[in-house]
Amino acid sequence: MDLHLKGKRVLVTGASKGIGRACAEAFAAEGCAVMIAARDPDRLHAAAAEIAGRTRAEVKARPTDLSQRGSAETLAAWAGELDILVNNAGAIPGGDLLRVDEDTWRRAWDLKVFGYINLCRAVYADMKRRKLGVIVNILGSAGEKLDAAYIAGSTANAGLMAFTRALGGASHADGIRVVGVNPGPVSTDRLISLYRQRAEVKLGTPERYKELFEGMSFGRPAKPEEIAASVAFLASQGSSYTTGCILTIDGGLSARSS
């Protein structure tokens, strides 16, 4: 499906792997000029080369740690005029209130919560000046189906859901759309690592981790490409009346009463 995104300038953060990388590849396949950022330089540059090789699109990479003050502004200046921003950088560890200490809360939130907010602030003014632009925030269904065992992540995602709705509810006046995506379980390196740990505890060996997927919708986690396809559509003119809302892609998990 041609989403008519050819030539659009796109920045994707957290794009060296997982959902971010899948989003970068989806936009590259649509003919966009794609810029990607992440903390690991080697993995990031490898991802850029592989995406460019497969899609023949222009893909540029800039190693960036968005948890550091000033990094969002520096990244936005490097990227220049953007048509689309995809905020995806961030990994918040699990744990309940008594297991997650203050330093962990602050490190995790500096990257994901303030990273998203600061990068939105850094690109919004230019988008407003040009009266165009789309911001897609990749959040997480734990912000909707709250989990005390993932308290730092649930609270962060719920806050970013509110941020996305508040900003997107007013951004139409500036010619900008702001939307969010709440993925549920997605088959990324991080999820597989988590389930291997759980399988070792519950089943005696990490190699049986796929057995723990059986309770998921359709018996599996989502594929990163399934999330990326929705992100690309939301950023396209086919979704031009969509702003201030959250699309949850979790196989119906958040809709269950128990």
Percent of the chain with pLDDT over 70: 99
pLDDT in the model for residue 198: 80
Q: Which two tokens stand for residue 170?
A: 């007013």
Residue 162 pLDDT class (50, 70, 90 cuts): very high
How many angstroms separate the CA atoms of 57 and 34, rounded?
8
Backbone φ, ψ for residue 78 (5° rounding) = -65, -45
How many angstroms separate the CA atoms of 204 and 184, rounded?
26
User: Does position 258 have pLDDT exceeding 70, yes or no?
Assistant: no
With CA atoms as reference, report the closest residue to 51 among 39, 34, 63: 34
Q: Which of 65-74, 97-106, 249-258 has the lowest mean pLDDT?
A: 249-258
pLDDT digits (tens, 9 = 90+) for 177-219: 999 999 999 999 888 987 888 888 889 999 999 999 998 999 9
pLDDT digits (tens, 9 = 90+) for 127-160: 999 999 999 999 999 999 998 988 999 999 999 9
How many angstroms separate the CA atoms of 159 and 165, rounded?
10
Residue 120 pLDDT class (50, 70, 90 cuts): very high
User: Does position 100 have pLDDT exceeding 80, yes or no?
Assistant: yes
pLDDT in the model for residue 257: 60
How many angstroms separate the CA atoms of 227 and 216, rounded?
16
Note whether 47 and 17 are within 8 A (CB): yes
Q: Which pTM value belongs to this model?
A: 0.94
Note whether 121 and 69 are within 8 A (CB): no
Give the residues across from 237 on adjacent strands: none
Backbone φ, ψ for residue 245 (5° rounding) = -135, 170
User: Does position 220 have pLDDT exceeding 90, yes or no?
Assistant: yes
Q: DSSP string covering 153-192, please?
A: HHHHHHHHHHHHHHHHHHGGGGT-EEEEEEE-SB-SHHHH
* Active-site residue set: 150
Sheet holding 177-183, edge to edge: 59-63, 33-38, 9-13, 84-87, 134-138, 177-183, 246-249
How many CB atoms are located within 10 Å of the residue 136 CB?
A: 25
pLDDT digits (tens, 9 = 90+) for 20-56: 999 999 999 999 999 999 999 999 999 999 999 999 9
Q: Which domains does the chain have, with CATH numbers?
A: 9-186+222-253 (3.40.50.720)
